[in-house]
Amino acid sequence: MNQQKTVLITGATSGIGAACAHIFAQNGFKVIISGRRAEKLDTLKEELSAKYNSKVLSLAFDVRYFEETENAIKNLPKEWSQIHILINNAGLALGILPIQEGNLEDWNQMIDTNLKGILHVSKCVIPSMTARNSGHIINIGSIAGKETYLNGNIYCASKAAVDALTKAMRIDLLKFGIKVTQVAPGAVETEFSMVRFKGNADAARKVYEGFKPLTAMDVAGVVFYTATLPAHVNINDVIVVPTAQANTTHTFKNM
Ligand code: NDP
Ligand code: 8X3
């Protein structure tokens, strides 16, 4: 049924994006996987093709740079150029410092990836959706965009921007019948904390100690659910957390 549908997933080299690539490929979608690490994309492409016999295109680009993004998406082969579902997932947190000690480079990278990255990719994909009067954009926000927490400052702000942008896109794209959804996860065990703590494996491990965090596939399952509802049904927003996590500041750690 979904054989003809194409999904573009940003940040598919790892974590939630890679899990989304698996679930969509397994279910017969054509999948465009993207991220900066080309060799990881190639490995994933081979794995998906071998496992599910699916059609997969690997597209390496950095969402922070509009020209690079536009060049990649504009030059898609014709049979891949109609994107039905866009999953804006690429994102990261860098550091966890109080605002008065924050690092300007980290701030810029978070804003450029988490917010401007969504703008860049969406700007390149939306015209073909408005032309067809259909499509679905799924933005991966965060519980950190709903509530702030100590030292979360710029990451929280970037995800609050995703929350606002998702609502704004939904209004502007309403007349084209384009669905816009935000999936906002709580703690998911991926490469996220290794990136946030800049390779400090001990610090990263501690984030998930004493409770059962979400897996990337838990989140991908929710994304897939929102993407496969009937044409007249849209999920605007969903916060998905581990059962042990009430909000950003209350996680029950049974240690
Ligand atoms: P991972 O670190 O495992 O994956 C992040 C992905 O983003 C990677 O594939 C990475 O690919 C890609 N990425 C980062 N920067 C860029 C860039 N400039 N251009 C293109 N791709 C980029 O983390 P998650 O899977 O956990 O994160 C996915 C999304 O989920 C993020 O938006 C994150 O903020 C959000 N999230 C994560 C939560 C968690 O607890 N893990 C909770 C809530 C939200 P590459 O390095 O190859 O470019
Ligand atoms: C990631 C979840 O709570 O670490 O978006 O910010 S949190």
> Does domain 6-240 fall into CATH 3.40.50.720?
yes
Q: Distance between CA 156 and CA 61 in Å, rounded?
A: 25
Distances (CA, A) of 78 to 1, 35, 72, 202, 221: 21, 21, 13, 46, 29
- Taking only the tens place, the pLDDT of each residue in 119-174 is 999 999 999 999 999 999 999 999 999 999 999 999 999 999 999 999 999 999 99
Instruction: Read off the tokens for 211.
Output: 């409770």
Given 149, 155, 208, 225, which residue is catalytic? 155
Q: Is the pLDDT of residue 20 over 60?
A: yes
Pairing of the two strands 85-88 and 6-9: parallel
pLDDT-based confidence at 255, cuts 50/70/90?
low
- Taking only the tens place, the pLDDT of each residue in 91-106 is 999 999 999 999 999 9
pTM above 0.85, yes or no: yes
Q: Distance between CA 183 and CA 141 in Å, rounded?
A: 6
Strands of the sheet containing 56-60, edge to edge, are: 56-60, 30-35, 6-9, 85-88, 135-140, 178-185, 237-240
**Mean pLDDT taken over the chain:** 97
Q: What is the largest CA-CA distance in the chain?
A: 54
Q: Is the pLDDT of residue 23 over 90?
A: yes
Q: Is the pLDDT of residue 55 over 80?
A: yes
Q: Give the atom of ligand 2 at the shortest distance from the alpha carbon of 155.
A: 6
65 in catalytic set: no
Mean pLDDT of 180-208: 98
CA of 75 to the centre of ligand 2 (A): 34
CA of 192 to the centre of ligand 1 (A): 6
With pLDDT > 90 as the criterion, what percentage of the chain qualifies?
98
Instruction: Read off the tokens for 221.
Output: 């399952």
Q: Distance between CA 17 and CA 3 in Å, rounded?
A: 20
Q: Distance between CA 107 and CA 76 in Å, rounded?
A: 31
Q: Torsion angle of alpha carbons 13, 32, 63, 234, nearest 10°?
A: -100
Q: How high is the pLDDT of residue 2?
A: 45
CA of 203 to the centre of ligand 2 (A): 14
Taking CB atoms and a 6 Å cutoff, what residues make up the pocket around ligand 1? Answer: 10-17, 35-37, 40, 62-64, 89-92, 113, 140, 142, 185, 187-188, 190-192, 195, 216
